[in-house]
Amino acid sequence: MALLVCLGGVICAATGRADALLPEYHVYAGNTHSHTANTWGHGEQYGKPAPVPGESQQKPRKTRILKPDWQKYQGPPSAHYALAKAKGFDFYVTADHSQEAGFQPPRADNPAWVAAKRDAAAATDGQFVAIAGYEHSENNGPNGTGHLNVINSSEYLNALLPGVDLPYLYKWLKTVPPNGDGPVVASFNHPAAHGYNNWAWCDPQVREVLTLLEVINSNNKIHYSAFVNALDKGWKVSPVCGLDNHGFSGITHNTSRTFVLATARTKAAILDAMKHRRTYAALEGNIQCRYTVNGAAMGSTLNRPTAFNFCIAVSDPDISNPEDKITKIDIVKDSGAVAQVYSPVPAYSVTWSPILSDATNRYFFVRVWNAGGGDAPGGGPAKPVAWLAPIWTGR
């Protein structure tokens, strides 16, 4: 479900001109975090054991049983890609836990790893992009803990092996080759507010690979505090939504999405959008968001200006649903402080062209509200429905 967004075609009231030098971008919707049957340790393929008469149910057993018809609920990467394509996803990333038995030993020629990359290549066509990656699940420390997705790498690591801590991963990310077309990109997954050793070990090289952060995880869990804290610690990350599904139900039922602004629906172009932080995360499946500052697309870094000419355009194609009307937009700056708010007459298409003067902040980003709070559970009109990529000021 791709909709054309020509940023250069949006006339900005603040400047009276179009940003004509920008490429013609399309908005593509997908998922950056999912688990297949290669993550065999847990998932929808398991059910709970039947209760034992007389056994206390206050502390139920943690044992699980494999469902006899488990293939209805979980399957290999190829099955995930096929269903995602049928359900209208433009792209879909699989990222199984690399510590699973099938991925041992962690080598580029491991059969499960080779098959996952082969399935992605076979599923990709002009209407759908499948991308293989893995989840680096660092749970042990001591040098920081936290899960990350590594997307489109030719090799992978087992985060639970001795010495493979977060500094080791960050060093490795700087040199690991990509798997064919497009760059390697990485994402902070379901981050705690002070995770990853309180956002340590950020340097200019690794932050050009680790460009994404899950503001939305599992369709409705919001990690906004982590997003702001990571930005304040110097990470240049853009919001994404990882459905984190361990089975097929996330494909068929979850409505949150990662959106990218890309020049084409190809693997290389979508990964380029992720690397250059042209992304946003939304609890609404088809909301269209984009903005420029001083003619530069969302995700860009400016050269220390003191005047910021925003050109923001938000729309929703579901013009028969009053809950999809846009009700508020704001601009957020360092430490999560709100710089400016716009509350338009609710409409399905809204543009806003504020000018901000500022000589101190390092970043700005945009949030959007609509009348219903999105399609995902837990939303509401008082909560944002979309979080857009920052613009960095260059300071």
Please say if the pLDDT value at position 92 is more than 70: yes
Please say if the pLDDT value at position 11 is more than 50: no
User: What's this model's pTM, rounded to 2 decimal places?
Assistant: 0.92
pLDDT at 15: 42
As a whole number, mean pLDDT of residues 211-231 equals 97
Q: Please report which confidence band the pLDDT of residue 14 belongs to, taking 50, 70 and 90 as the band edges.
A: very low
Of residues 12 and 300, more confidently modeled: 300
pLDDT digits (tens, 9 = 90+) for 232-252: 999 999 999 999 999 999 999
Which of 12-26, 71-85, 180-194, 339-353 shows the lowest mean pLDDT across its residues?
12-26
pLDDT at 55: 59
pLDDT digits (tens, 9 = 90+) for 111-140: 999 999 999 999 999 999 999 999 999 888
As a whole number, mean pLDDT of residues 36-54 equals 82
Task: State the architecture of 3-45+66-288 in CATH terms.
Answer: Alpha-Beta Barrel (3.20)
Of residues 359 and 2, more confidently modeled: 359
Mean pLDDT score across all residues of the chain = 91
As a whole number, mean pLDDT of residues 356-365 equals 97
> Which sequence spans correspond to the domains of the chain?
3-45+66-288
Q: Please report which confidence band the pLDDT of residue 56 belongs to, taking 50, 70 and 90 as the band edges.
A: low
Which of 141-145, 283-287, 292-296 shows the lowest mean pLDDT across its residues?
141-145
Tell me the angle at which helices 111-123 and 77-86 cross, rounded to the nearest 10 degrees. 20
pLDDT at 57: 53
pLDDT at 202: 96
Please say if the pLDDT value at position 12 is more than 60: no
Q: Quote the percentage of the chain above a pLDDT of 90.
A: 85
Please say if the pLDDT value at position 385 is more than 70: yes
What are the backbone angles phi and psi of residue 204, rounded to the nearest 5°? -60, -30
pLDDT at 206: 97
As a whole number, mean pLDDT of residues 8-23 equals 52
pLDDT at 1: 47
pLDDT at 18: 47
